[in-house]
Structure 1
Amino acid sequence: MKRIFLAISMLAASQAWAATETYNIDASHSFANFSIRHVVAKTSGTFNDVTGVITLDPANLNSATIKATINVASVNTGFAKRDEHIKADKYLDVAKYTQIQFESTKVTASNQNQAILQGKLTIHGVTKLVDIPVRVLGYGADPWGGQRAGFEGHVTLKASDYGYGWATGANAPVGDEIEVTLLIEGVKAK
């Protein structure tokens, strides 16, 4: 009887493990886009260098884990002079803080395509817990013989929560709230 129970347990464990898939974030097809108030309007940009690993069971998003890194120097607002300005120590301080890091701590799925991703977000040397609503955009074959998965997430952050002090007073030229859209494409590990 013990042998049968052990065999069933091993089979169930191997099936659960087999359902887990690992995706490496494709830096050439993944972006962290942002917008922030500037004077009376908004300005936007993107971080072009997003890397990391996503492990999940497509049938059970609650089991997912995510580790991601953003190269802060990859910021691109479409205007080189502005990029250099915001890379300086007054704003992003890329000489001192080279990366933004995220590591999931919990995923709460409402279905197979939507979840709240909770995790530790480290920006400017400060780590905070954040909740990021995410949506699975899909899974499928790519033209190069691989498999891919697509994800989208949205979150609003406060710069002041991460030690940035540029948004002081009602007439500050740059706002405190940063709206972030994550567009992530992963390549399934072989």
Structure 2
Amino acid sequence: MKHLLLSMVACAALSFGVSAANYKIDTSGAHASVNFKIKHLGYSWLTGRFNDFSGEFTYDAAKPNDSKIMVEIDTTSIDSNHAERDKHLKSGDFLDASKFSTAKFVSTKITDQGDNQLEVVGDLTLHGVTKSITIDAEKIGEGKDPWGGYRVGFAGETVLRLKDFGIPEKLGKASTEVIIELHIEGIRQ
């Protein structure tokens, strides 16, 4: 009877499929980054990153449309490789990080576009404003790691208009949009 019950459970699991696995974004191993770039006065690119962020996602290669992701970014960790500029970017002139110290993205829909391409739609809360954005993403790969774990990695990009999030446009007409690049490697939990 016990073997019959185990066989029935195994058959049920196979017929319903395995549920998506949970992953934690590997920020402690520095295998993830949130980068940005914005034109500086239209003459060059200002690039940087956010050093402190965390997140998690669910993913099943057989059902990528069922995936979900959540990322939180500490806006006070902005790093443009220039301390005085970072201080200015954190000020009320831009991020107002003392008031809005966290940005958060929560997916609402993920669509498999084929060929490892994904469209990730979700709500981004930045500078106290929540807006729906779309991230064009690519699955980079997945598999076992040398430490006995399992990982999957993605890269994505989106363009944000500063005024959509109530961030003052202080650098002129050529500097009204910022490109956000995400590189995420998750460790299966």
Same fold per TM (> 0.5)?
Answer: yes
Deviation at 1:141, TM superposition (A): 2.1
Aligned to 2:26: 26
Deviation at 1:173, TM superposition (A): 8.2
Aligned to 2:4: none
Deviation at 1:13, TM superposition (A): 7.4
Amino acid at match of 1:100: A
Give the SS at the match of 2:84: helix
| 107-116 vs 178-187, which moves further | 107-116
| 1:14-163 map, 5 Å | 15-16=16-17, 18-27=18-27, 28-39=30-41, 40-111=43-114, 113-163=116-166
Point out where structure 2 has 5 or more consecutive residues left out of the alignment: 1-7
- TM-score, normalised to structure 2, is 0.87
Sort the Cα spacing of 1:159 and 1:94 in 2 relative to 1 into closer, same or farther, 3 A.
same
- TM-score, normalised to structure 1, is 0.86
Matched, 1:164 2:154: no
CA contact under 8 A between 1:45 and 1:76: conserved in structure 2?
yes
Deviation at 1:174, TM superposition (A): 7.2
CA contact under 8 A between 1:59 and 1:112: conserved in structure 2?
no
Give the SS at the match of 2:148: coil
Aligned to 2:12: 11
Output the CA distance in 2 between the equivalents of 1:105 and 1:13.
28
Sort the Cα spacing of 1:57 and 1:83 in 2 relative to 1 into closer, same or farther, 3 A.
same
Output the CA distance in 1 between the equivalents of 2:48 and 2:148.
32
**Across the two proteins, how many residue pairs are aligned to each other?**
179
Output the CA distance in 2 between the equivalents of 1:24 and 1:14.
28
Give the SS at the match of 2:175: strand
Amino acid at match of 1:81: E
Deviation at 1:98, TM superposition (A): 0.8
